[in-house]
Amino acid sequence: MSTAVAAEPAAKTVPAGQNPMLAPWTGPYEGVPPWDKLDPELFPDAFQKAMDEVKAEVQAVIDNPAAPTFDNTHVPMQLAGDTIQRIYALWGVQTSNRSNDRVEAIDAEWSPKLSKFFTELYLDPKLFARYKAVYDARNTSGLDAQQVRIVERSYEEMVRDGANLSPADKAKLVEINSKLEGHFSSFSSKLLGDEKLYTFVTDKAELDGLEPAFVASLAAAATEQGKPGQWAIKNTRSSAQPVLQGATNRGLREKVWRAFVGRGDNGDANDTKAVIADVLKLRQQRAELLGFATHAHYRMADTMAKTPENADALMMKVWPAAVARVKEEVADMQAIADAEAKAGKGPKITIEPWDYRFYAEKVRKAKYDLDESEVKPYFQLDKLVDGMFWAAGELYDMGFKENTGTIPVFDPKVRTFEVFNLKTNKPIGVFYLDNFARDGKRSGAWMTTYRSQQKLGGERNVLASNNNNFTEAAKGEPTLISIDDAQTLFHEFGHGIHFLLYDITYPALAGVPRDFVEYPSQVNENWLMTPEVLSKFATHYQTGEPIPQALVDKILASDTFNQGFSTVEYLASAIVDMKLHNRKVPPTDIAKFERETLAEIGMPKEIVMRHRLPQFGHLFSSDSYSAGYYSYLWSETMDADTWAAFNEAGGPWDRTIADKFRTLLLMTGNETDRAEAYRAFRGRDPDVKALLKKRGFPTE
C-alpha cells in the first residue's frame, strides 16, 4: 500500500520588479525592512534574481578594460551586492525569529546553492588577477593607510580562501562549502526540533519553589499547546534554568535537565551527531586543501590570537583555578545537603548536575543572605531597557526614542526606537528589540544589523537589533528577569552600541576579528550593577521603590560567587571546541570524543558543558564560532582590563576613558589592527590578572 506524501508548495514566480523582498527599502530612516511583507515563498525568486544582479556587478569589474586600481576594483566590489545584503537581512529574521517547517526546507535547498554561487564568484581567476595587480602596486599608487589595509587584507583573504588553487581543487572547494552549508541548515533544523519540545507538568505541587509569575507563564504556554490546566516547560535555556535554580522537586529538576542537555543526542530524527561528524570531516578536508594544518589554523589565521596554541595558553591559565573553585563550591553545597538530610528536611543525596544551580542558591542565601527571588521583583525588563539606554546616553551621547507602531515589525511584540546623538540631534539609526521566546525562534540571544554604517556610496543609517529569549509574564503583568538575564540584556546591547557607533568609510574594514567581537558586549555588562543604574531603574514592580542599598550590597558582596561553575561551564565548551578542530584526524564518534576529552581535562562530574557538542549551535549552525568559542575569554580578558581602566580613572562614568574607548575601539571597526588599537587605548596589552581578579581567582 502506498502512502501519499504532501508535496512542498511551489515557490512563487513573481513578475520582474514586483517581488517585495527585492525592492529597495522605503519609508523613514532612509528606508526600513518590509517585515509586514515577509513570505517564505518569495525568497527563492528573490535569491535567484539577486544572485544574477551581483554576478553582473562583479562581471562589470572583471570586464573593465582599464588597468586595475583601487577605485575601479575595490570600490565597486564593496558597493556590489546591495540587493542580496537586504535579502540576507530579511531571510536571517525569517530563519532565526520566524522559522517553520517550510522555512527550514527552503533554507536546506538554498543555503548550498548560495554557498556554491559565492564561492565560485570569488574564485574567478580574472577577478583575483585584478586584486593581485592592485596589491602588487599598493605601495606606489598613492593609496592612504586604510586603502592599503583593504588591499592587503582582501588579497590575503582571497589567497587564504583558495584563489591560488588549481581549477580542479577550486571545484573541490566549491563542493565542500556547498555540502557544509547543507549540513549547517540540517543541524539548525534538528536542534530547533528538539527545542520545540515541552516537559508537561500535571500536578502544580511539582512546581513548588518557582516564582508565581513564572508558573503563570508555564500555564499560559500549556494552554497555547492545547493542554489547559497543565504547565509546559519549553526545552530552552530560558525555561529550563529557572526550574533548575528554583524547583524543590528534585525529580522535576532531573527530568528538565536531562531533556535540556540531551538536545540533539537522542538517537532519533533530530539527533545531530552524524551531521557533526560529516561537518568535521569536510572542514579538515577544506583546511588541508587550502594549505592549513587543521581547521583551527585556518579559522584563526585572521584573529587576534593568531594560533590555537595562543588560545590554549590563555584558557589553561584560567582552567585550573576554575576547577579548584568548583571543588570548593561543591563542598559548600554538599554540606548544606548533608545538614538538611541530618535534620530530616530532605533525603541523603550526592550533588548531581541537576542539583548545582538549586543548591548554589542555598549557599548564596547562607553565605550572603541573598536570595535571587528577593532581587527579581526589582528587575523589571522594561525598566532595565530604559536603564541600558540611559547609560549609553551618559557614556556615548546616544539617545533612544521609542517609535513602536510607526514602522513595520516581524512580530507584534517587537519594540522599535529611533537612535540619535543627544548633543547634535543627528540621526544614527533604528534599534529593534525582540525580547521574548516563541515557537519558531532559535534559542539564545544575539545581535544583528539589517543595515550597517559606511560612508562609501553615501552615509547610511544603522538598522540594528537585539534578540533575546526571555519568558514573558502572564498578560497584564510586568516581565521580571533574573540577574543573569539582565546581564544578557546589557551584553547584547553592547553589541548594538558597537555597531550603532561605527564611523567608518569602507565596509571592507567593518568586520572585526572573531576574538574582538564579544569585547564591546562584555564591557557593557559592567554598567548593570552600577549604583546609578540600579537606583534609577531597579525599582520594585509593585511599590515603585528603588532596590534597597542593603540588597545591592549583598549582590556586590556575592559578585564572585559561583564563578567556578560559570567559568568551567563555559571554558569546557571552549576547550573541547579547540581540541575538536585542532587535529588532523576528525573524530567520527562524537559522543566518545566529548566524553574522553572532558575526562582528559578533569571536568568536574557535577557540571556539564554550557553547550554539549550535539547542541553546540555556535560551532555547527555555521563556521562563525568554530575553533573560536575561546573568543569570549579572549574578549573578557580585554573587558576586565578595560573596566580596570575606568576604575583607575574617575570610575564607571569617566568620560575621558569612555571617549577614548569609543573613538579608538568602538567607532573604528577594523580600520587598524585591533591589538594595536587596544594598546593605543590602554598603553599596553591586556593583563589576564584583571580577569582572574574579577572572577575571584588567585592572580599569582
The H or E element that residue 109 is part of is helix 101-122
Give the integer Cα–Cα distance in Å for 59 and 55. 6
Give the integer Cα–Cα distance in Å for 348 and 351. 10
CB contact set of 548 (below 8 Å; sequence gap of 6+): none
- As annotated, the active-site residues are 492
CA distances from 81 to 468, 644, 685 (A): 29, 42, 38
Q: How far is CA 408 from the centre of its chain?
A: 24
DSSP string, 453-498: --STTS---EEEEEEEEEPPPSTTSPPB--HHHHHHHHHHHHHHHH
HSE of 15 in the Cβ direction (CA atoms, 13 Å)?
A: 1
Which pairing describes strands 415-421 and 398-402: parallel, antiparallel, or unpaired?
antiparallel
Closest by Cα among 17, 95, 29 to 448? 95
CB contact set of 3 (below 8 Å; sequence gap of 6+): none
HSE of 126 in the Cβ direction (CA atoms, 13 Å)?
A: 10
Grid cell digits, residue 409: 515589525
Asked if residue 664 lies in contact with residue 497, where contact means CB atoms within 8 angstroms, the answer is no
Grid cell digits, residue 551: 540588597
Region at 230 (left for phi over 0; alpha for psi -120 to 50; beta for the rest): beta
Give the integer Cα–Cα distance in Å for 129 and 65. 13
Asked if residue 491 lies in contact with residue 525, where contact means CB atoms within 8 angstroms, the answer is yes
Give the integer Cα–Cα distance in Å for 576 and 56. 43
Name the residue with cell 589554523. 297
Residue 466 backbone phi and psi in degrees, to 5: -115, 140
